[in-house]
Structures are given as C-alpha cells and as structure tokens.
Amino acid sequence: MSKSIQPRTRKVRILATLGPASSTVEMIAKLFDAGADAFRVNMSHGDQESKIPLIQAIRSLEKTYGRPTTILADLQGPKLRVGKFEGGRTMLETGKTFTLDRDPTPGDATRVELPHREIFAAIARDARLLLDDGKLVLRVTDHSDDRIETVVEVGGALSNSKGLNVPDVVLPMAALTEKDRSDLAFAVEQGVDWIALSFVQRPEDLAEARKLIGGKTALLAKIEKPSAVARLEEIVEACDGVMVARGDLGVELPPQSVPPMQKRIVETARRLGRPVVVATQMLESMITSPSPTRAEVSDVATAVYDGADAIMLSAESAAGQWPIESVAMMNAIADAVERDPAHGDRVHFTVTRPDPTTADALAEAAKTIAATVSAKAIVCFTMSGSTARRIARERPAVPIMVLTPRHETARRLGLLWGSHAVHTRDVESFEEMVAKAKRMALRHNLAKGGDRIVVCAGVPFGVPGSTNVLHVVQIIGDELKGYKDGN
C-alpha cells in the first residue's frame, strides 16, 4: 500500500545528491519525506558497484509512495591536473616565471609536468591558467609543442596533482573520457533517467553521449565553462536539460560575473523549453551547521524567483552533517517564495513565446484558460513528455498533472517545474480521456467535486507529438465510485 499520493504543493523541484551521509534506504526515504523530488548519483566518487544499492533504494520508493522516482547520474568529465612535485609540494612566487612541460620528472618552484597534450596544442599567448580551483593564476608568455612558459600572477602553495582550468581557450578534448564512457554504459544499463555531461564546451560535445545513450535516457548538459556560454543557445537546443554548475563556472569566471551568467542560462533554457537546474553551494554552510546563512537563503530564493525548474544540494546532502535538515530547509525556502504574491509576476519576467505549432499554442492557451476559469489543475496525457514540457514552460499558476503509460517518461519529469507525473494505462477514446482525467485529479487530491480542470492531449491517442485537444471539464465528485485501482 502506498504511503501517500499527495502531490508536492511547491512547483520548483529539489535535486539531492547522495553520498556517504545518505546512502541507506532509510536515509533516502527521509530525504524524500523532507522534500527531495529527484536524486543525483555522482559518478566521480566510488566504483560502479557501490551505485547499484543507491539506485535500487531510490526505485524502492516508488512502491512506498506511489509515485515515480527520478535518478540523475552525473559523469565526472575530463579532469585536468598538473603532475607531481619533489617533496609533494612547492611554493610559486608572484612575479616569477613557471614552466609547464611534458617531462615526468618531479617538479619544483620553476616547473612541473602537464600530462595533457591537448593543452599544448590549443594554448595561446596571454591565456590564463588557473590552478587549485583558481587560487593560483598563471599568464602564458610563450608556448611550443612541449613547453608552456608563464608568469605567476597570483602565487601560493601548489601540491601534487592539483586541478587546472583553462578558461580562455576551447580545448580540443572529448567531453567523455574512458571512465565516462564506462560509467555512462553502466548508468544506462541500470535504467537511470538522466545523464549529466560535465565540462561541455560546444554542442558537438553532446553528440557522442547522445549516440551512446541511444534514446534510453535524457541528456543534461552542465554549463561550467565560458566557452559553453559563448554557444549557449546551440548547446541548450542540443540537450534535454541544462545545469548551471556554479563550481567550475565560478573558478573560470570572475565571481561577480556568475550571477548574471546564471540568469542568462536560466532564461535561455526556459525560453527554449528545457528544464534547468541551479546547483553548487546553495546551502554550503549546512554541511557543518544546522542552519544556513541569510545569504544562502537569498541565493536559493533567487533561483526560485527566476523560475528554475530545480535547485540542487551537493555536499550538503551527500556528505554533510545535516542532510535531512538541508533538504527540509531548501523545501521551506521554496515554499515561502512560491507563496509570495509577487512570485507569479517575477517568474514571468522571462518571456516564453510559443513556436508556431498547434502544441505550443495549446500549451499557452491551457495556462490562460486555467487562470480565466479558476481551474484547479492542468491534466495532460503524454507519451514522450513533450506536452508536459511545453505546458511547464508557460509556468501556469496551477499544478500540472502528467498522465503517461511510459515509466521512463514519468520518471524523467521529476526535474520538470510544477509537474506531478503518474504512470497509468493509456486511453483510447476522448470519453475515456475525460473520465480518467477527472478520476486522477480526484485520486491525487488536486481537485474535488465542483472544481474545473483543463485537459490537454493528442488525437489519435498514443502518437507522440500530436497534441491537438484542449478541453475544460467540471468534476462532479463521484467519479471514483467503482474504481478501486490506481487507474
């Protein structure tokens, strides 16, 4: 027996990262109870075998709660690192010269190995090299096929295998490493709902992942490099969703550039009808503290006001001391913002003009009609989820109930703003569609007797992308009589 099929009242989704602090069935269920709508499995840490119990635990929630669960597998991506030093570390002095080369001999204060041939081929004079999450800054003065000469602009301690960022050039590197390809194949085999691709630089980076996925899961592009921002619209159009990955984006861009960049990415994704996740350091202090800073609360609120589809917790829920409290706090902030009477106006600051298609016209009309007749919900029937995404793009004031015969579609919609997905048998006639929409709205407590709902679907039924019907119906209240199952 399912524990509850009461939909979330909030429309923004919460994506919680799992890790050492949240790896048991009991803890994952507590995170779900606290407000998590979807779960991120980080492939950067641990081996593949360790992910199987996590995925099984997430899926087990479906029977307990009577609703689909959503799993995002986040690939590590290509990690650039310097080589090793004599004694394990050195000190780079500001104003001194420093060389990166192909020599594997342990480095010192004047040089170190850079084991990435692609950087030597692409680097340019005056380009910056950022070390250890941007703590140290080098400026390229000269370069050849096996040496990069730099001057240290910001010095400091540097130890073995520290990370390297190259923000000023597009590197001729594949977005997928051998580890990523293996992890992607594993994730697809395990039936995850989303694959997140790290360090996307250009739309072409998505092509290989698309081919390997083979249509079995949705593809999310993490925007964390300035080169990706330069081709943002093309990248968004080439994927199923995007993430504002503010960690590396904040390393490669000046800190003051990240907030306007975040708004630009969110606006572009919304305009093009792709779910957008805002991530990294949202409640960072709650890794060690039971309460967030006021600045963090404001940061989460801003993403909700901007109309992001989902907001994400990273280490807060994966490795922090207060994982349940972090999710509950994010849930409370989102609830408070969405209750603000000004929230609706702010969410619609982004203009989402419909494409000249029947489906887009009906999605826009569904929002308007729901507001005009004071409908309690929009109920849409969909095979692929495209109808739901179109309606969500309009950010209606009422919940979107998504009825689909495909488990895969229902699960992917866990990152979609305002949606409550239900896996159910397909309908075969207009009358059956109307009757099922009424039953489901009652069963899931979205409406009661006397309420109106707006129903959106495509005829003929079962054909993806054929949305062409919009219907307003009033619920009597006795539609569930004689129906004992979930359909």
Of 69, 217, 280, 352, which one is the catalytic site residue? Answer: 280
Residue in 321, 332, 376, 267 with CA at minimum distance from that of residue 35: 332
Query: What does the pLDDT look like over 152-186, one tens digit per residue?
Result: 999 999 999 999 999 988 888 888 999 999 999 99
For residue 236, what pLDDT is reported? 97
pLDDT tops 70 at residue 476: yes
Question: What average pLDDT score do residues 436-446 get?
Answer: 93
**Active-site residue, selected from the candidate residues 128, 162, 222, 436:** 222
Alpha helices in 231-342 (DSSP H): 232-238, 246-252, 258-271, 294-305, 315-318, 323-339
Catalytic residue flag (residue 64): no
Beta strand 419-423 pairing with 111-113: unpaired
Q: Is 99 a catalytic residue?
A: no
Average pLDDT for 11-40: 96
341: buried, middle or exposed (CB in 10 Å: 19+, 13-18, 0-12)? exposed
Report, as an integer, the average pLDDT of 460-468.
67
pLDDT at 426: 83
Task: Check pLDDT > 80 for residue 462.
Answer: no
How does residue 463 score in pLDDT terms, banded at 50, 70 and 90?
A: low
Give the rounded percent of residues in the chain with a pLDDT score beyond 90: 79
Beta carbons within 8 Å of 260's beta carbon, 6+ residues apart: none
- In the predicted model, what is the mean pLDDT of residues 386-407? 94
| pTM of the predicted model as reported, rounded to 2 decimal places | 0.92
Name the active-site residue from 79, 81, 139, 216.
Answer: 81
Lowest mean pLDDT: which of 80-84, 98-102, 429-433?
Answer: 429-433
The three-class DSSP label of residue 173 is: coil
2 pLDDT more than 60: no
Q: What is the pLDDT of residue 162?
A: 92
| Amino acid occupying residue 13 | R
pLDDT-wise least confident of 136-145, 266-275, 377-386, 454-463 = 454-463
Among 178, 167, 159, 170, smallest CA distance to 78 is for 178
pLDDT range class, residue 484, cuts 50, 70, 90: low
Percent of the chain with pLDDT over 70: 97
Q: Judge whether residue 477 has pLDDT over 60.
A: yes
pLDDT digits over 296-325, tens only? 999 999 999 999 999 999 999 999 999 999
* Active site (annotated) includes residue 81: yes
pLDDT at 316: 97
Higher pLDDT pick, 291 / 485: 291
222 has catalytic annotation: yes
pLDDT, mean of residues 107-123: 94
Question: What is the pLDDT at residue 7?
Answer: 84
- Among residues 8, 40, 395, 412, the one annotated as catalytic is 40
Distances, alpha carbon 393 to alpha carbons 110, 271, 406, 433, in Å: 53, 7, 21, 23
Mean pLDDT, the chain, rounded, equals 92
